[in-house]
Amino acid sequence: MKLSLFVCLCCAAFAVPASAQWVKGVHYIGARIGLSYVGNAITPALDYEYALTKPDEAGPGTVGIGASIERYAQSTSVTTVSIKTETNTSHLGFSVYGTYHLGNLLDDKRMDPYILFGLYALRNTGSVTINGRDSEYTPSTNVDVMGAAGFRYFFTRQLAGHIRAGFGLSTFSAGITYGL
């Protein structure tokens, strides 16, 4: 029953023609899941983007700005001859970025390839246990550059699926975007 409902919803989403993609003045929110750049940990994320320009206002593409929050955690255990070390770390990342969308250059307006560049701050916390003795990490925050290339496919005028690959917080991620 659940599978047939899922299939019906997917068919309905693909059946609705999407004539708009990245539209000036629209706020886009989204969720995605990816792999972190450290240890390929699973990384859930929430995204926000705002479309700043129309086609041809900033070259052949359109410009947007965005922000995201990502979180991932890692646990490792290493045992040598007489020392057992367990490490647990948690990372919370915030990013701000600019995007350049090239979808208006394609015939199929449901497609939206883009690139993004920006800055991210990564807050690291954790603990280490050595032979049963606990100690806390000194929390730290790193700031660095990030970049990615991505692709959105608009199923409807507001709902899109997307993938992206890059450097910075997530190396590869996939998710959904919804225009408000």
| Amino acid of residue 154 | F
Q: How far apart are CA 23 and CA 43, in angstroms?
A: 28
Judge whether 105 and 61 are in contact, CB under 8 Å.
yes
- pLDDT at position 58 is 85
- Residue 35 confidence (pLDDT) above 90: no
Domains of the chain in start order, with CATH, are 2-179 (2.40.160.20)
For the chain, the first-to-last Cα distance in angstroms comes to 31
- Residue 117 confidence (pLDDT) above 70: yes
Judge whether 47 and 29 are in contact, CB under 8 Å.
yes
Structure tokens of 161?
């699926």
Give the pLDDT band (50/70/90) at residue 79.
confident
